Structure 1
Amino acid sequence: MNIEEQIENYIASQPEPKRSDMQALHTYILQLLPGCRLWFLDGKNSENKTVSNPNIGYGMYTIKYADGKTREFYQIGLSANTTGISIYILGMEDKLYLARTYGKTLGKASVSGYCIKFKTLKDIHIDILAAAIQDGVNFTNAR
């Protein structure tokens, strides 16, 4: 199964209204980041144990670890969680930036150092989410 099929199956496996919201976000992110690399992580480690929620990833940047090693990873992540949806904006060095810049104007969402969580799409301002996503991508592309 290719990545697009895995993503399609993952979104289809979600209950409504989460399924429709995730499909809308997936389409929206693809429009924001045309031609970006797609990823799908099933949330399992090398022993096939579940270690996280599955994630759809968009874009690519290089993570640099303290020991000098590097790894390619996605810039933006989309995942279902128990209460709604999470958007991950990875690679930001300032862990307060997202909350400080978008927390008050995003709508009914919790914003941490790299994660924006909300129950449904109607709870947030999609244009503000788009600005946060674009900000994250611009930051990692500039590195």
Structure 2
Amino acid sequence: MSIDEQIKEYIATQPEPKRSDMKELHRIILNVMPKCRLWFLDGKDDSGKTVSNPNIGYGTQMIKNASGNAREFYQIGISANTTGISVYILGIEDRKYLAQAYGKDIGKAKVTGYCIKFKALSDIRIGALKAAIQYGIDQTTI
């Protein structure tokens, strides 16, 4: 199954209204990053054990793991969670920046060092989310 098919299937398995919000969020990110590489991680480790929620990734950056080795990974990610949707903006070095720069303007969301978590798209300001995504892209573009 192609990555596009995996993404469509993952979104289709979400209950409404989360499914519609995930479709729209996917569209929004693709508008911001039209030629980006797409990723799909099913949330399972090499042994098949579930270790995280499945997630969709956008773009490419080099990240270093704990041992100092670099590998390719996505810049922006989205994932359904039990209470809503998480948007991951990876690679921002200053762990306080996202909350300080966008936390007050984004609406009804929890903003941490690299994650913006909200119940529904209608709870947040899309312009602020796009700005946060663009900032993350600008910080991590190879």
TM-score w.r.t. length of structure 2: 0.98
Runs of 4+ in 1 over 4 A off after TM superposition: none
RMSD (CA atoms): 0.9
| Residue identity matched to 1:53 | N
Q: How does 1:109-124 map onto structure 2 within 5 Å?
A: 109-124=109-124
Q: How does 1:1-143 map onto structure 2 within 5 Å?
A: 1-65=1-65, 67-141=67-141
Deviation at 1:69, TM superposition (A): 1.1
**How far apart are the structure 2 equivalents of 1:83 and 1:66?**
30
Deviation sequence 1:121-141 (CA, Å, 0-9, x none) = 000000000000000000012
Deviates more, 1:63-72 or 1:75-84: 63-72
Deviation at 1:77, TM superposition (A): 0.2
**How far apart are the structure 2 equivalents of 1:42 and 1:128?**
28
**Unmatched runs of 5 consecutive residues or more in structure 2:** none
**How far apart are the structure 1 equivalents of 2:65 and 2:50?**
24
**Unmatched runs of 5 consecutive residues or more in structure 1:** none
In structure 2, relative to structure 1, the CA distance for the partners of 1:69 and 1:42 (3 Å cut) is same
Deviation at 1:66, TM superposition (A): 5.3
| Residue identity matched to 2:32 | L
| Residue identity matched to 1:124 | I
- Secondary structure of the residue aligned to 1:44 is coil
Deviation sequence 1:30-52 (CA, Å, 0-9, x none) = 01001000000000000100000
Question: Number of matched residues?
Answer: 142
**How far apart are the structure 1 equivalents of 2:104 and 2:136?**
18
- Secondary structure of the residue aligned to 1:93 is coil
TM-score w.r.t. length of structure 1: 0.97
